[in-house]
Amino acid sequence: MSKSGDDSARRTVSTERALEILECGDVQTEYGILRWSSNYAFLVAVTHDDITMNAVYKPQRGERPLWDFPDGTLCYRELASFLTSHELGWQIVPPTVLREGPRGLGSVQMFIEHDPQVNFFSFNENPGVLLTQLHKIAVFDAVINNADRKGGHCLLDPDNHLWGIDHGITFHSAHKLRTVIWEFAGQPIPDALLDDLDRLCVVIENPASSYRQRLNNLLSAVEIKACQSRIRNLLKVKKFPLPGPGPNYPWPPV
């Protein structure tokens, strides 16, 4: 992301700068629809101050109705997931905003350059480098109650940073955790991650915190309360969650 399109500049842009571009920039080019998405998602170019960034735009009106999630709320959950990742300091979810676009209100998320042939199921080739990042994603998914952590929703960028995408079906008040990452089930959560969870617990339970106030505009009170309960339970048990009684894997897995 730069005037010259240099890839290294794209990867080193600060989160704050990326959010500014996504929020204030003009969506000047639409490259087309992303066929692998279950809802309408478009690859677009967003330009601000002569800087262009590729992004994924998911318009609210392109969301497929679901029986267990309120209509028109998936884009809100995309933003809530980014805010939670950002509050934890884990940099799992790419910078994401909620804004008007060519097809109406929707989420706009920084596009992550990656090899589409590389996903969670090929990470075993180099597990040590990614272990800490996978720990974070596993805990994060338990916090946001991610119902759709497919293998292809884990993207490895050229700097070996692991990102998580597609967080539209999250934050349900009922248990919905479906993920391909069960390797750590029942194992102790690292102390550093518990410390981060403790900080998150403080801010989500503080009605005056900026994070909590933003969540109030994106999720229902019941969903926020359920998220608080999940965080407190993780802090109490101090272990990665075990599979529940219902479906535990997304389909398809990739």
DSSP 243: P
| CB within 8 Å of 11: residues ≥ 6 apart | 113, 157, 158, 159
pTM surpassing 0.75? yes
Residue 190's Cβ-count burial label (10 Å; 0-12, 13-18, 19+) is middle
| CB within 8 Å of 158: residues ≥ 6 apart | 7, 11, 113, 114
pLDDT at 1: 45
pLDDT of the chain along its 254 residues, tens only?
434 344 444 456 899 999 999 999 999 888 988 877 778 999 999 999 999 999 999 999 999 999 999 999 999 999 999 999 999 999 999 999 999 999 999 999 999 999 988 888 887 666 677 999 999 999 999 999 999 999 999 999 999 999 999 999 999 999 999 999 999 999 999 999 999 999 999 999 999 999 999 999 999 999 999 999 999 999 999 999 999 888 999 998 88
Among residues 116, 13, 91, 97, the alpha carbon closest in space to that of 55 is found at 97
Angle between helices 191-204 and 127-144 (to 10 degrees): 30
Contact 11, 24 (CB under 8 A): no
- Size of the chain, expressed as the number of residues it contains: 254
